[in-house]
Amino acid sequence: MSTPNKKLLILPGDGIGPEVMRQVHRVIEWFDKKRLARFETSEGLVGGCAYDSEGAPISDETMARAQESDAVLFGAVGGPKWEALPFAVRPERGLLRLRKEMGLFANLRPAMVFEPLVGASTLKPEVVSGLDIMILRELTGGVYFGEPRGIETLPNGERRGVNTQVYTTSEIVRVGRVAFELARKRRNKVCSVEKANVMESGELWREEMQKLHDAEYKDVELSHMYADNCAMQLVRNPKQFDVIVTDNLFGDILSDCAAMLTGSLGMLPSASLGAADSTGRRKALYEPVHGSAPDIAGKDIANPLACVLSFAMMLRYSFDMTEQADIVEKAVQSALARGVRTTDIMQPGTARVSTTVMGDTLLRELDKLA
């Protein structure tokens, strides 16, 4: 029985966010009932719904609660309703503010193929079967936040849009450390990805990764790859990779690509972690890689598994609850092995179920595993 003071802030957000998060709530309640883990949960608004009722994609009050929590569980943000808003109040800014102000520089996006889903991938089974790679995306720097940025009107009346790709040594080294540490617990390989052939920031990235490796992580195998080649290699032969470490923008793109190898974006969880404080505690936010999918929102057909697997990552990375995390992941495995599928991962010979029924199935499998 664990102590009851693990503070979770739950931010379901927009679109399918609330309905997939609902299934995570049921898993949290299940842990509580079985006395396997207890959390103090509270909810808040983020994204378009926060803009509608609080005037900002995330309020200062919600930000403060996020900073005080042991972990934030995040659903998804955005939708057509808010697409014409000024940049500064778009739903996505809520997520970007959380990442930046909580200092969540390390974004772990594991792409794992669950064996029952091998056939759901658009790639040949032999290419993806057994796939288990980790994309580590730098999350608080690069072109997402670099200055100068903006749109200006030139004297000749032409408009000019500017963003800046920028990285400093310390930003590269701290995410590099996370990559090497992760690799040591996996298959001991890191592939660092940039465009050193055309960008100075990429040249710096490559040099700093190599220096860090030579100084502290000689036992880990390090290779370097250009981002365009990496995109190609991910669909050609993804199993060559173990940990891929890359910048914010390349990581955004390559992780969507890696996600699709597993059959559906609806399966992919993620963890965003800050630096460890003196007690070893890290600020943390957990979210499914998929977006708010407004086209299917409210229909009870979205896949809740990425959100549930994000919760499992939280158990593992924020609370060291390895056993509990294993149970959740096994329950997902067994639910899939039973042949239940949400629409996004449908295959011939399996049963199409709703979000809620997927949740029911998970709880039944959890009961068997407890």
Residue ranges that bind Mg ion, judged by CB under 5 A: 252
Catalytic residues: 144, 195, 228, 252, 256
In this structure, are residues 298 and 79 in contact, taking their beta carbons and an 8 Å threshold?
Answer: no
Rounded to a whole number of angstroms, the minimum distance from the CB of residue 99 to Mg ion is 12
Helix (H) / strand (E) containing 153:
strand 150-153
- 95 counts as binding ligand IPM under rule CB under 6 A: yes
Nearer to ligand IPM by Cβ, of 31 and 250: the residue is: 250
3-state secondary structure 258-276: HHHHCCCHHHCEEEEEEEE
Binds 95: which of Mg ion, ligand IPM, none (CB < 5-8 Å by kind)? ligand IPM
Among 32, 43, 54, 92, binds ligand IPM (CB under 6 A): 92
d(CA 18, CA 299): 12
Site for ligand IPM in 232-261 (CB under 6 A): 252
Nearer to ligand IPM by Cβ, of 194 and 252: the residue is: 252
Rounded to a whole number of angstroms, the minimum distance from the CB of residue 139 to ligand IPM is 8
Binding mask 263-302 for ligand IPM (x = CB under 6 A): ----------------------------------------
Rounded to a whole number of angstroms, the minimum distance from the CB of residue 252 to Mg ion is 4
d(CA 173, CA 336): 39
Alpha helix (H) ranges present in the chain? 17-33, 48-54, 60-68, 91-101, 125-128, 169-184, 200-216, 227-236, 248-261, 305-317, 322-337, 355-369
User: Of 312, 358, 356, whose CA–CA distance to 36 is shortest?
Assistant: 312
* Residue with smallest beta-carbon separation from Mg ion: 252
Which residues on adjacent β-strands are paired with residue 9? 42, 72
* Residue with smallest beta-carbon separation from ligand IPM: 92
Q: Which residues bind ligand IPM (CB under 6 A)?
A: 92, 95, 252
